[in-house]
Amino acid sequence: MKTLIIFTHPAPESLNRSFLNSAMEGLSSNMGSDSVEVLDLYKENFNPALVFNDEKRRRSMSKDPELESYRKMIQRADTILLIYPLWWGRPPAMLMGFFDKVLSSGFAYKQTEGKILPEGLLKGKRVICVSTMKGPKGYPALVLRNAHKVLMKKAIFNFVGIKKVKFFEFGSMESPRGKQEKKLEKIKDYMQKLKPV
């Protein structure tokens, strides 16, 4: 089982980094460190901005050589673990730009003549989303009607063929009473017990 962790937070010493460390510790003890690959989008200086011109056309994105290494990472992975904060009720623009550029037509999905919806090409994988927020845990469900989960599960991952999507939404992360250690331990424990897809 190969796991790709896509980490998206600009602060080197953030709580998100602690979640990354907990996840890696759990995964390494479960399946060995060789089976875990980490993509830190900020450390990578990933450019999330789409550019279309005479050299870069939307229909050619799945063959863009600048994105080839990321496509290979996703192809290798059985499990894609995303660790990110929720800002304005959604993942950071850096992560959304990664999806815009890498999950392109011809790689992540294809349109078949005569069918209304495209066919997802990333079947057989699973996604685990670990997100943090300053607000209370129930905020996305009560105020935003689970917009974050709908976006990630339905609009992105189900669309590209990934049906197994698990969420961990941790709130009150900046509160001294936020029970951060228990939350970190929960992720470590989950990764230690993770079974093949």
In angstroms, the CA 120 to CA 110 distance is 7
Dump pLDDT digits (tens) for 88-133: 889 999 999 999 999 999 999 998 888 888 999 999 999 999 999 8
In angstroms, the CA 123 to CA 105 distance is 15
What is the pLDDT, as a whole number, of residue 136? 61
Q: Is the entire prediction scored with pTM above 0.85?
A: yes
pLDDT band at 142 (very low <50, low <70, confident <90, very high): low
Give the pLDDT mean for 52-67: 83
What is the pLDDT, as a whole number, of residue 144? 60
Asked whether residue 14 carries a pLDDT value surpassing 80, the answer given is: yes
* Structure-token match 């469900």, residue found: 141
In angstroms, the CA 186 to CA 4 distance is 19
What is the pLDDT, as a whole number, of residue 139? 60
In angstroms, the CA 66 to CA 118 distance is 25
Q: What is the CATH number of domain 3-192?
A: 3.40.50.360
